[in-house]
Chain A
Amino acid sequence: MSSTTTAPFLSRERIVAPLNYNRWLVPPAALCVHLCIGQAYAFSVFNLPMTKLIGITQATPDDWKLTDLGWIFSIAIVFLGLSAAFAGSWLDRVGPRKAMFISASCFGGGFIIAALGVWMHQLSIIYFGYGVIGGCGLGLGYISPVKTLITWFPDRPGMATGMAIMGFGGGAFIASPLSVWLMQKFSTETHIGVAETFVVLGIIYFVFMSIGALIVRVPAANWHPVGYVPPAQPKKLVTDQVVHVNQATKTPQFYLLWWMLCLNVTAGIGVLGQASAMSQEMFQGRITPAAAAGFVGLLSLFNMAGRFFWASTSDIIGRKNTYFCFFLLGIVLYALVPSTARMGSMGLFVICYAVILSMYGGGFATIPAYLRDVFGVQFVGAIHGRLLTAWSVAGVLGPVLVNYIRQYQIDHGVAKADAYTVTMYIMAGLLFIGFLCNLAMKAVDARHHLKLREQTA
C-alpha cells in the first residue's frame, strides 16, 4: 500500500493527484468554498428581521438596534483578516483539504452558534458565533485554495485565482434570495424564522464546503501542465525565486501592495455600502427604492464579473499594468460621477459605477497572482493571508469616510444630491496614492530570496 493511501484523510499527502489528473476539477473545489463564504456580503438581509424578533411586526424597546446588529458583519470581517494573517503559514504546511474542512466547520458551526444566540436573544452569542467563529471560517476558506490554484495553473495564475475569488463575489447572489425564502418558510404570525434559517444555512454550507474539501487535489512535486514551458526570460517583476513569508513582510514591496489593496478596497467598499442611498439622492425622484436595490444588485454582478475579467486580463497585460488600469481609470470615473448627476445622465452614472465596482473586485482577484509574481509561489498563501489585513482596515475606513464626509457636507448646508461630490474627489485622491505605490513597485532585492538549500529543506 502506498504512503498516499495510508496518510491521514485530511493531510496534504492524501490528496496528491495522479499525473493524468484533470486540473479543471480543482476550480470547482475552490468555488464550493468561496460561493459559501461569499454569503457574508448578504448578511444584511437578516438585519431588519432581527430588529423585530420580539415585536414581530415592529421593533419594541427590547429588540436589537440596527447599529448593534451592524457589528456582526464588522467583527466577521476583522476575524477574516486576522485568521487569514495568522493561519496562512499553517495552511501552507497542512494543505488545502484540512484548511477547507476546518473552514467549513467554523463557518457552518458559526451559524449554529448564532442560531442559539437568536433563540436565547443574546447578541453577544451571535457576535461570537457568526462574528468570531464564522469570521475565522471566512478567513481560512478565503485563502485555502489560492496557492493550490496557482500551483495547478502556472500558465494562468490570474485566471485561476480570479475564478475562485469570483465565487466569493457571487456567493451573495445565492445567499440573499435563499435566506429570504427560508425566512418566509420558517416565519409564522408570532415568530420570525431567523434562527431556523441560520441552522439550515449552517448545515447547507458545511456540506457544500466539505464537498470542496473532498474534491480538492494538489499537484505532484515538479508537475507542469502538458506543453507548458516556464518562460526562459521572466518579466521584470516576476521572480522564479522564493521569498519566505517572514522575510516578505520586511520588504517595501509587501507594504506597497498592502496599501494598493487597502486604497482600492477603501474606495470601492465605501461607495458599495452607500450605493442605494447615493443613487436615490443623486437622482431624486428618478430612482425609486426598488430600482436602487436593483442598482446594488447590478453593481454586485459587476463586482463578481470583474474578479474573473481583470484577473484573467492580468495574465496577458501583467499585474502592474492591470493595477495601473484600476487606479488611472478609477480616478477618471470617480471624478466623473458628480458630473453625471449634474448632467442628469443616469445611464452614464450606472456605467461609471459598474466599471468602478468591476475594478474593486478585480483588485481582490489580481492580488494573489501579483504576490506570486513578486515573492514566488512557495509562501504565497501565507503572504496573501497577511496582506488581507488591508481588507479589514479598508472595511472600516471606506464606509466611515463616505458616511462622515456626507454628513459633514449636509450639516454645512450642502444639498443631499451634491453631498457626495467631495467624497468622490477624495476617493480619486486615494486612488492616486495607490497609483504612486504601484509605480514604485520593483522586483524584490536578491538578499531577501531563500537559498536553494533552504527552499528544499
Chain B
Amino acid sequence: MSEQSENHSYTAQLVATWLLVGIPLLWGVLKTLQNAWSLFQ
C-alpha cells in the first residue's frame, strides 16, 4: 500500500473511531443536561 493511501485509510479510521466513542458520549451528556435543567427551573 502506498504511503498516501495508507494515510487516507488512517484518516477514515480516525473519523470512524472518534464517532464510535463520541456519539454515545454526547448522547449521555445531553441526557444528563436535560435532567440537570430541573435544578434551574
Contact = CB atoms under 8 A, between A and B. Distances in A.
Name, among B7, B21, B31, B35, the residue most crowded by chain A CB atoms within 10 Å (CB to CB): B21
A174 B36 contact: no
Given A173-B25, A211-B20, A287-B39, A20 B31 contact: no
A365 interface: no
Summarize A's interface: helix, strand, loop or mixed.
Answer: helix
A20 B3 contact: yes
A35 B24 contact: yes
Contacts of A22: 7, 10-11, 13-14
Summarize B's interface: helix, strand, loop or mixed.
Answer: helix
B25 A293 contact: no
A177 interface: yes
Interface residues of A, number: 34
B39 A295 contact: yes
Interface string B1-41: 00100110011011001101100110111011101111101
B3 A28 contact: no
A348 B11 CA distance: 44
Contacts, number: 80
Contacts of B27: 174
A186 B38 CA distance: 28
A291 B38 contact: yes
A294 B38 contact: yes
A291 B39 contact: yes
A150 B17 CA distance: 20
Interface in A272-291: 287-288, 290-291
A20 B39 contact: no
Contacts of B25: 31, 35, 167, 170, 173-174
B21 to A, nearest CB: 4
Nearest to A215: B17
Contacts of A294: 35-39
Interface stretch (A296-304, A368-376, A392-400, A407-415): A296-304
B21 A28 contact: yes
Given A22-B14, A173-B29, A301-B29, A28 B20 contact: yes
Report, nearest first, the 5 A-B pairs whose CB atoms are least far apart.
Answer: A173-B28, A28-B17, A174-B28, A294-B36, A31-B21
Given A22-B10, A288-B38, A297-B36, 8 more contacts: A22-B14, A28-B20, A174-B28, A176-B31, A215-B17, A294-B35, A294-B36, A300-B32
Interface of B: 3, 6-7, 10-11, 13-14, 17-18, 20-21, 24-25, 27-29, 31-33, 35-39, 41
